[in-house]
Structure 1
Amino acid sequence: MARKQYPLRIDPAIWEAVQRWADDEMRSANSQVEWILRDALKRYGRLPKSKDRDHTE
């Protein structure tokens, strides 16, 4: 599946927190953002089951 590129404007403090979290999890910041979004979508029932391709668990 091709990945969609999306420019993201984000508060520097939030980005730094994401980067630290990613470092702790040995992921790239981009992968961490994707994981956070996927997790939130799953929690709120917004991610279709067929699209759930979480390889990080």
Structure 2
Amino acid sequence: MTKKAFALRLDPAVHAAIERLAASELRSANAQIEMLLREALAKRGIEVPVSKPPKRGRPKKEEE
């Protein structure tokens, strides 16, 4: 899963609140923001599918 990076300007008080909430739920601030955005979209009837996680480990060797 590739994530898109972009700059987000937040009021310092909003950022602090997000960090506190994230810490209380054992998430990063970034993960907390993504979760809050998904919840807000769902509330408006917009369902966003969760992307598949990347495959882990080494690729299988091709046999000749």
TM-score above 0.5: yes
Identify, as 1 or 2, the structure richer in helix. 1
Structure 1's consecutive aligned runs of 4 or more residues displaced over 4 angstroms after TM superposition are none
Larger displacement relative to structure 2 (39-48 or 21-30):
39-48
The one-letter amino acid paired with 1:30 is N
Give the TM-score of the pair, scaled to structure 1. Answer: 0.80
> What residue ranges of structure 1 are gaps of 5+ in the alignment?
none
Work out the percentage of aligned pairs sharing the same amino acid. Answer: 44
Give the TM-score of the pair, scaled to structure 2. Answer: 0.72
RMSD: 1.0
> What residue ranges of structure 2 are gaps of 5+ in the alignment?
51-64
What whole-Å deviation, never above 9, does each CA across 1:2-48 have from its counterpart, x for those lacking one?
11101100000000000000000000000000000011111111224
